[in-house]
Amino acid sequence: MTPHLPFTRPSIDEATIAGVAEVLRSGWITSGPQVKAFEAELSRLCGGRAVRSFNSGTAALEVGLRLAGVRAGDEVITTPLSWVATANVVLEVGARPVFVDVDPRTRNIDLERVEAAITPATRAIIPVDLAGLPVDRDRLYEIAERHRLRVLEDAAQSFGASWRGRTLGSFGDLVAFSFHANKNVTCAEGGAIVLPGPDLVPLCEKLRLQGVTRSGEDGMEVDVLGGKFNLTDVAARIGLGQLPRLAEFTARRRALARAYFERWDASLDCELPPQDFEDSNWHMFQVLLPQRVERARFIAAMREAGIGVGVHYPAMHLFSLYRALGWRAGDFPHAERVGRGIVTLPLFPAMTDADVARVCEAAARVLA
């Protein structure tokens, strides 16, 4: 029987598994020396910038907004085509998300439409690198600087990607990463934020753990409202086993993406992603199905063929939570069209070229 091929699967080696066992035996399993080591390695990968870890990419985004000074009454511009956490965190801090439609080619926020959405209440922009394809950082920061806006890069999907040869996280304002189980590098669950300077470290650490500041042997003070967002040493040890393999993972993902382009049947009338092999980390390989195809039936048929297919993502402004805030169908036609037809095909480092061929052949049969 042909084994099931999931749309993603983490690659965790035996040394990492043994390392996690050592952490469990150590008796120190919450935030401790492994977290410090993980943050130090992340800092090295981000050009020496200050980095602090969290228990999720969502927590990193929420704290990032607080560090940027976003509060009740402010507006934050972002894309409607992302995991819903991108906008949920804006609501969490009391602000209002302002959506801007996507570029139909890149499926990222259309930066040419951003300025029309800026108002006196706009405080920040959250761009999202969908599937690991970076948003144009030059244009993004030109807009932000001209309008004096903060940028919180939602780079949850783009760890290991770059912009014109510069690693994401090594430059820019606030940069949030995710190390969820389906990400290119994982901690099982986890996240991190890269800070624009060391001066934000004390506040970042307080916001991460209940606003607490400790001093001396027994001193404790709380002067801000924080959350419970710290990463555990167990999770950090998984991440420490993953980070040395980042270049290997990225290279393999790019090779698999090339194989998809080479084997995909162009007559199927699907829209493929941009062929970016320099900057994208190929977190996902996403195909936009023809409008004649019912996506649910495609997914079910692929599952019958033993192949997992994901949906990343529906246009979030059409969820009930955001409809209640006034958004309606038709507001962002490009995002809505992509959100209705997009599917994520299997792509992870342990895949073989034969696996890619199997996916392409199955998709051709189903779509025909």
Q: Which distant-in-sequence residues (6+ apart) come within 8 Å of 257 by Cβ? A: 275, 277, 280, 282, 285, 347
Which residues span the domain enclosing 319? 245-367
Q: Is 228 a catalytic site residue?
A: no
- Residue 268 pLDDT level (bands cut at 50, 70, 90): very high
Token pair of 244 as six digits: 């040395």
Residue 128 and residue 237 in one domain: yes
From the list 36, 183, 206, 228, the catalytic residue is: 183
Last residue of a domain, one of 244, 274, 292: 244
Report the chain's mean pLDDT, rounded to a whole number. 98
Residue 130 and residue 147 in one domain: yes
Confidence (pLDDT) at 352: 98
Q: What is the pLDDT of residues 120-137, one digit of tens each?
A: 999 999 999 999 999 999
Q: What is the pLDDT of residues 195-240, one digit of tens each?
A: 999 999 999 999 999 999 999 999 999 999 999 999 999 999 999 9
In the beta sheet, which residues pair with residue 132?
Answer: none
Is 6 within the bounds of a domain?
no
The three-state secondary structure class of 352 is coil
Cα Rg, the chain, nearest whole Å: 21
Residue 296 and residue 257 in one domain: yes
Residue 270 and residue 236 in one domain: no
Is 8 within the bounds of a domain?
no
Is 9 within the bounds of a domain?
no
Residue 95 and residue 225 in one domain: yes
Q: Which distant-in-sequence residues (6+ apart) come within 8 Å of 105 by Cβ? A: 274
Residue 129 and residue 213 in one domain: yes
Q: What is the pLDDT of residues 56-82, one digit of tens each?
A: 999 999 999 999 999 999 999 999 999
Whether residue 316 contacts residue 84, with contact meaning beta carbons closer than 8 Å, is answered with yes
Residue 168 and residue 38 in one domain: yes
Confidence (pLDDT) at 2: 79
Q: What is the pLDDT of residues 85-107, one digit of tens each?
A: 999 999 999 999 999 999 999 99
Whether residue 132 contacts residue 101, with contact meaning beta carbons closer than 8 Å, is answered with no
- Residue 262 pLDDT level (bands cut at 50, 70, 90): very high
Q: Summarize the confidence of residues 313-321 as an average pLDDT.
A: 98
Q: What is the percent of the chain with per-residue pLDDT over 70, rounded to a whole number?
A: 100
Last residue of a domain, one of 219, 244, 269: 244
Question: What is the CATH number for 164?
Answer: 3.40.640.10
- Residue 1 pLDDT level (bands cut at 50, 70, 90): low
Residues 318, 324: Cα–Cα separation, whole Å = 10
Last residue of a domain, one of 214, 244, 274: 244
Q: What is the percent of the chain with per-residue pLDDT over 90, rounded to a whole number?
A: 99
Token pair of 317 as six digits: 């402004």
